[in-house]
Structure 1
Amino acid sequence: MKTIKFTCLILPVMLALGSIFVQSCSSEDHLIPDPTFDISLKNDITLGNILVDGTGNSLYFFEKDVEGKSLCSGGCTNVWPIFFSENIKSAPGIGASLFGTITREDGKKQTTYKGWPLYRFAQDVKAGDVKGDNKNGFFAAKPDYSVFFASKGAGRYLVDAFGKTLYTFANDQDDISNCKDGCAAVWPAFFVEPPVVPSPLKTSDFYKITRVDSKQQVTFNKKPVYFFSKDLVRGDVKGTDANAKFTVLSF
């Protein structure tokens, strides 16, 4: 079974007037706010591409919002003001069809991306600030997350970009899936390349394997990662009751 580590490449490019480096995973921090768009991309030197509003203010996801509704209310919204635009005009490179609108319990409307409600952070004082990343369950809103955090009750676990729960299987070995045939139909392999993750996670913890059925699968810390076929809507965690050998991928 083949195991491949995801890596980032830094390519030296020599020019006649000097030398520059092009880095495939991040680049020099730059931001040119474009008020003609409600949401644009900013390339942050540490975090990579993140979503910003028309004035360059960073936008955030909240891990407790995994079910697609906002759990930030009351005083929370003083610190994390909600973002809403009636008709989103997004800059090129952002999936315009992935924006939506929810009506919050306080009656206000809020814009979502891939089902995650969007927020600003009150302590971001200038365009491009990302002081709210990894703060109290809020993370900079990357448009290309493939893995994100979810939090329900006392536990934090991992989900895909659309809030679908990820699991591991007790019968697996390091970098080897033992879920085959009928098992694989109920517990489909999770695969994405490359992994784009919240800042507390390391891409080096993610690998890909080629299974005995020739399909590829992501592993996290050597554990093959799965969906549960009966988790039908975001936030579902039905797999833990269905089979005790499959557990939520906690972090």
Structure 2
Amino acid sequence: MLIYLKKNLLAIVCIAMVFTACKKNSSDEPTTPPVTNNNKGIQLATDAKFGSVLTDKDGKTLYFFSSDAAGTPTCTGGCETLWPFYYSADASTDLKLNKAEVGEVTRADGRKQSTYRGYPLYYFASDAAAGEIKGDGVGGIWFVAKPDYSLMLANAQLIGANGKSYTSAYIEGTGNTKYFTDAFGRTLYAFGPDKNGINTYTKGTTQEGIWPVYQSEVLNLPSVITKADVGVITVATIGKKQLTYKGWPLYYFASDTKRGDNKGITVGGIGTVWPYVSTTTTVAPAP
């Protein structure tokens, strides 16, 4: 009986030793180290719906504000609660980003804000996590920041070459108007006598020097612009491509010397010869 008890006790001790060894070994197994985020500055991310978009170093989406087309931040006060501005003093570590198009601006209160192509950058407070894009299209004036827009929208006061302010109906007065610009905030115009898909203005370099054609491929567009409305024609007289919207060839005005200028609306008549272009522009007439 004593021998039996000794054998059982020895077996129990062995089992306990094996269990202890197994427990020790399991705790000694290597664990996966936490992922270190070495990103700095503005980054590029790919979204299934929007394609290439700008984010901060942690993947939070950034936005453009149409009212900032002139390059000056206009989202202040209570606006900042919903649209906090973004700033990073660090240069971008993303090798795919064009660093020359990244900059910064000083806000009216002295704080700095990062910019891309001159547009101040913002977050949307309702984007709770990295990768969310809930702010695009809000009010028709907030759009996800992208590196490759063919067109952008401005939401600003019209001020003609005569120095007078106009409403969207070309009546003297104040109030913002939504109209198209290029990706750098330069105003785009249509030429009243043009036909659908036909530039009737540019006869050569003289005309091109006053009203340059807007050269661009159809890349990406703000979500309020229908891609089928945008096209490209060839202007044979100068051998250049020109972007069109609803058939209207698009032009710059050379006297718009800085982004945000829209002086061309009063040239040749108020809003008749060189009107601004917007989503409400009607289709160009057939030839």
Question: Same fold by TM-score, threshold 0.5 exceeded?
Answer: yes
CA shift for structure 1 position 34 = 4.9
- Name 1:146's counterpart in structure 2: 150
CA shift for structure 1 position 33 = 10
- Name 1:176's counterpart in structure 2: 198
Q: Which structure 1 segments of 5+ residues have no match? A: 1-31
CA shift for structure 1 position 163 = 0.4
TM-score calculated relative to the size of structure 1: 0.84
- The CA deviation string for residues 53-78 of structure 1, in whole angstroms up to 9 with x for no partner, is 11110000000001101000001111
Contact kept? 1:155, 1:250, Cα under 8 Å: no
SS of equivalent residue, structure 2 residue 179: strand
Compared CA separation, residues 125 and 138, structure 1 to 2 (3 A)? same
CA shift for structure 1 position 145 = 1.3
Contact kept? 1:35, 1:55, Cα under 8 Å: no
Moved more, 197-206 or 33-42: 33-42
* Aligned counterpart for 1:118 among listed residues 109, 118, 121: 121
Alignment of 1:98-117 (within 5 A): 98-117=101-120
Matched, 1:250 2:254: no
Matched, 1:218 2:221: no
AA partner of residue 245 (structure 2):
F
Structure number with the higher strand fraction is 1
* Aligned counterpart for 1:129 among listed residues 132, 137, 141: 132
SS of equivalent residue, structure 1 residue 78: helix
SS of equivalent residue, structure 1 residue 158: strand
Highest RCO, 1 vs 2 (Cα 8 Å, sep ≥ 6): 1
* Aligned counterpart for 1:66 among listed residues 65, 69, 75: 69
Alpha-carbon distance in 2 for matches of 1:90, 1:210: 38
Compared CA separation, residues 149 and 90, structure 1 to 2 (3 A)? farther
SS of equivalent residue, structure 1 residue 125: coil
Q: Which structure 2 segments of 5+ residues have no match? A: 1-34, 157-174, 280-287
TM-score calculated relative to the size of structure 2: 0.73
Contact kept? 2:41, 2:89, Cα under 8 Å: no
Alignment of 1:153-192 (within 5 A): 153-180=175-202, 181=204, 182-192=206-216
Alpha-carbon distance in 2 for matches of 1:171, 1:183: 14
Give the aligned length: 220
Moved more, 154-163 or 193-202: 193-202
- The CA deviation string for residues 33-66 of structure 1, in whole angstroms up to 9 with x for no partner, is 9542222111111111100111110000000001
Alpha-carbon distance in 1 for matches of 2:79, 2:38: 27
CA shift for structure 1 position 194 = 2.7
SS of equivalent residue, structure 1 residue 64: helix
Alpha-carbon distance in 1 for matches of 2:85, 2:55: 13
Matched, 1:203 2:224: no
CA shift for structure 1 position 112 = 0.5
Percent identity over paired residues: 37
Alpha-carbon distance in 1 for matches of 2:36, 2:210: 46
Alpha-carbon distance in 1 for matches of 2:265, 2:36: 45
- Name 1:238's counterpart in structure 2: 263
AA partner of residue 218 (structure 2):
P
SS of equivalent residue, structure 2 residue 143: strand
Moved more, 84-93 or 215-224: 84-93
Root-mean-square deviation (CA), in Å?
1.6
Compared CA separation, residues 33 and 235, structure 1 to 2 (3 A)? farther
- Name 1:194's counterpart in structure 2: 218
Alpha-carbon distance in 2 for matches of 1:65, 1:95: 21
Contact kept? 2:40, 2:90, Cα under 8 Å: no
Q: Which runs of 4+ in 1 moved over 6 A?
A: none
Alpha-carbon distance in 2 for matches of 1:241, 1:51: 36
AA partner of residue 90 (structure 2):
N
